[in-house]
Chain A
Amino acid sequence: MTWLTLRQFRVQGIAMVGLVGALAVLFAVAGKAGPAPSTLVNSLYYVGNIAIFVLPALLGAFWGAPMVAREVEAGTHSLAWNQGITRGRWLATKVVLVGGAAALLTGLASLAVTWWAGGASQEAMGRLLPVTFGARGVAPAGYALFAFSLGLAAGILLRRVLPAMAVTLAVFLAVQIAVPVVVRDLLLPTTQETVAITPQNMEYVYLVNAGRPEDGVREVGVRGPENAWVIDNTLVDAAGNPTAVPPVLASCMIKLHTTGVARDELETCLAKTSEAGYRQRVTYHSASSFWPLQWTELGLFLVLSGGLVWLSFRRIRKVH
């Protein structure tokens, strides 16, 4: 069965490994990203990120989805499943070899990009930012296995290649958006800090047009610790409850925005705000959470993949 799996997988396997290999050569020739990158390295930095995001989707659509669906479309499933080997064994071999190859290929590519981009100036913003996090470390191996299992299950349930590919891509995209937005920050406990707003740590003011200028100041934010992934930035009053921006702060923010203020004027204004008991509460994952978060997210995707593979084993018995 190993031989047959590899033989049937030859074209898709070579195509995808060749694509990744070609990119790897390009990265190697351009040289490792450093603090003063060439234009090529600078663009490759983004190419690398995109490639790691896209690769699992391609593997799901081109390795996972056709695995059973193409056999059914061509009628060859009745050839394959009438040999002296059960469907379970047939599927197990395919999942281990091809699913394993998908995880391995993506994992290696991701680790290579992680190493290559290690010194890049863009990394200074922190590898925990969603646009970077998903293209670094070990989590992409989980994405790849998940996309593969998703394709496999879709192929078994839909029994047609193109619909299975479309569903795989759509669901995978939805999950890749949902996880950083609503799931990832819940994977591990976050750190909370309540700090006074100072000219040094103030990061942004969010203003909208409103009747009275002071009412338009909706939010202020402070910087989190270096390379941290700030999830929440809330102004709290003396009692620690979230509150709207008070006039004492709003008025000088408006002035800062419209005419500009001297530094000591800003300091005075922020000092008055602090005296009134206002603090900024920052919720974040610190830079040191990068690897714990990576492994936890890998675990999450392994569990999701496991569920889809289990479903595939159950439902393949019904395919005819």
Chain B
Amino acid sequence: MTSIVRTSALTKRYRRTALDNCTIDVPAGRVTGLIGQNGAGKSTLLTIAAGMLEPTSGSIEVCGGTPGSGREQLEKVGFVAQDTPTYSQLTVAEHLRMGAALNRRWDAALAEKRVAALGLDPRQKAGTLSGGQRAQLALTLCVAKRPELLLLDEPVAALDPLARRNFLSDLMEVVADTGMSVVLSSHLIADLERVCDHLVLLVTGQVRMAGDVDDLLATHHRLTGPRTEREEVPGAHVLHASHTERQTTLLVQADNPIDDPLWTVSDVSIEDLVLAHMEAAQSARALEVAR
């Protein structure tokens, strides 16, 4: 597996700790979802990866180089920041002109094709575009510079459901056409589930879960059985347990199939997984605080 983003003990402290000893390995050629609640460190991680922000400690390598280290590095990485900023006084066509002027690898044909396909009026000022259109324009600028890696920070957070779906399906097309790696963040599992084949879950600045979606689904199971206080299953790590009067339901992680006749094994969804990990992290922290 080749990595596109690799961090080691990456830490960023402001007044609080935004990233806490993060070690992540994001594979190349994938669409990676960075999921976590608000304030989990998603933006900080992406901003550091784009070279906009320097970490407090630890190391990070993006596309084989140091973020923000120079022109070559900037050309390899495309970054769409939160709220998809564009120049409100510049027209769509002027944005493309800017992209052409500032990027050696600028793909004018791709940019124009996209603007036409998206139905954007080249003479319209970016400030008068809808949120969805502005996000599309920002993505277009980013894609047409032909980066190896696309970093998208909550690109759909401000969009309505329809614009959100359009943006994501458009993103999928671009990825299919260009083969670039993508890391996009969201606090909504549904957005990421639709497009990602690799997931990284951040909880309060730390990595809680990372892996290919298929692997994650294959190694996590829901076990249902008669009520028991023993929240233990041989060969499995229990992430979450819930009890009703007669039943116990466990969410477990296990590398091998579970064939304990006591339990009925069923599949889990990504959402179940993420929530179970978040809750586990929260109760672990509550314990820590209590001590």
In the assembled complex, A243 has its CB within 8 A of some CB on chain B: no
Q: Are A84 and B98 in contact (CB under 8 A)?
A: no
Q: Which residue of B lies closest to A74 (CB)?
A: B85
The CA of A74 and the CA of B126, in the complex, are separated in Å by 13
Given A4-B98, A78-B50, A78-B79, verify A83-B85 contact (CB < 8 Å): no
Q: Find chain B residues with CB under 8 A from A74 CB.
A: 85, 87-88
Q: Are A84 and B103 in contact (CB under 8 A)?
A: yes
The CA of A86 and the CA of B99, in the complex, are separated in Å by 14
Q: Are B85 and A79 in contact (CB under 8 A)?
A: yes
State the interface size on chain A (CB cutoff 8 A). Answer: 20
Chain A facing B: main interface SS? loop
The CA of A79 and the CA of B86, in the complex, are separated in Å by 7
Q: Find chain B residues with CB under 8 A from A82 CB.
A: 50-52, 74, 77-79, 142
Q: Are B87 and A79 in contact (CB under 8 A)?
A: yes
In the assembled complex, B81 has its CB within 8 A of some CB on chain A: yes
In the assembled complex, A258 has its CB within 8 A of some CB on chain B: no
Q: Are B74 and A86 in contact (CB under 8 A)?
A: yes
Q: Are B102 and A78 in contact (CB under 8 A)?
A: no
The CA of A86 and the CA of B101, in the complex, are separated in Å by 13
Given A1-B101, A75-B83, verify A320-B52 contact (CB < 8 Å): yes
Q: Which residue of B lies closest to A75 (CB)?
A: B85
In the assembled complex, B13 has its CB within 8 A of some CB on chain A: no
In the assembled complex, B113 has its CB within 8 A of some CB on chain A: no
CB distance from B85 to the nearest CB of A (A): 4
Q: Are B86 and A76 in contact (CB under 8 A)?
A: yes
Given A82-B74, A82-B78, A84-B105, verify A76-B87 contact (CB < 8 Å): yes
Q: Are B85 and A76 in contact (CB under 8 A)?
A: yes
In the assembled complex, A291 has its CB within 8 A of some CB on chain B: no
Q: Find chain A residues with CB under 8 A from B105 CB.
A: 84
In the assembled complex, A263 has its CB within 8 A of some CB on chain B: no
CB distance from A85 to the nearest CB of B (A): 5
Q: Are A83 and B81 in contact (CB under 8 A)?
A: no
Q: Find chain B residues with CB under 8 A from A83 CB.
A: 74, 98-99, 102-103, 145
Q: Which of A40-93 contact B (CB under 8 A)?
A: 74-76, 78-79, 81-86, 89
Q: Which of A1-31 contact B (CB under 8 A)?
A: 1, 3-4, 7-8, 11
The CA of A75 and the CA of B138, in the complex, are separated in Å by 12
- Among A78, A82, A83, A86, the one with the most B-chain Cβ atoms within 10 Å of its Cβ is A82
How many residue pairs link A and B with beta carbons under 8 A? The number is 74
Q: Are B97 and A3 in contact (CB under 8 A)?
A: yes
Q: Are B102 and A1 in contact (CB under 8 A)?
A: yes
Q: Find chain B residues with CB under 8 A from A78 CB.
A: 47, 50, 52, 79, 81, 85
- Among A74, A84, A89, the one with the most B-chain Cβ atoms within 10 Å of its Cβ is A84
In the assembled complex, B119 has its CB within 8 A of some CB on chain A: no
In the assembled complex, B201 has its CB within 8 A of some CB on chain A: no
Q: Find chain B residues with CB under 8 A from A81 CB.
A: 52, 74
In the assembled complex, B104 has its CB within 8 A of some CB on chain A: yes
The CA of A74 and the CA of B4, in the complex, are separated in Å by 30
In the assembled complex, A318 has its CB within 8 A of some CB on chain B: yes
Q: Are B81 and A75 in contact (CB under 8 A)?
A: yes
CB distance from A78 to the nearest CB of B (A): 4
Q: Find chain A residues with CB under 8 A from B77 CB.
A: 82
Given A3-B97, A84-B102, verify A79-B75 contact (CB < 8 Å): no
In the assembled complex, B141 has its CB within 8 A of some CB on chain A: yes
| Per-residue B-contact encoding for A287-320, CB less than 8 Å = 1, 0 else | 0000000000000000000000000000000101
Q: Find chain A residues with CB under 8 A from B86 CB.
A: 76, 79
The CA of A1 and the CA of B99, in the complex, are separated in Å by 10
A320 touches which one: B47, B70, B102, B138 (CB < 8 A)?
A: B47
In the assembled complex, B90 has its CB within 8 A of some CB on chain A: yes
Q: Which residue of B lies closest to A319 (CB)?
A: B52
Q: Are B74 and A84 in contact (CB under 8 A)?
A: yes
Given A79-B87, A82-B50, A320-B52, verify A7-B94 contact (CB < 8 Å): yes
Q: Find chain A residues with CB under 8 A from B79 CB.
A: 78, 82
Q: Find chain A residues with CB under 8 A from B88 CB.
A: 74
The CA of A81 and the CA of B78, in the complex, are separated in Å by 10
- Among A1, A7, A318, the one with the most B-chain Cβ atoms within 10 Å of its Cβ is A7
* 22 interchain pairs, CB-CB under 8 A: A3-B98, A8-B89, A8-B90, A74-B85, A74-B87, A75-B83, A76-B86, A76-B87, A78-B50, A78-B52, A78-B81, A79-B141, A82-B50, A82-B74, A82-B79, A83-B99, A84-B105, A86-B71, A86-B74, A89-B71, A320-B52, A320-B53
Q: Which 3 A-B pairs have the closest CB atoms?
A: A83-B102, A78-B81, A75-B85
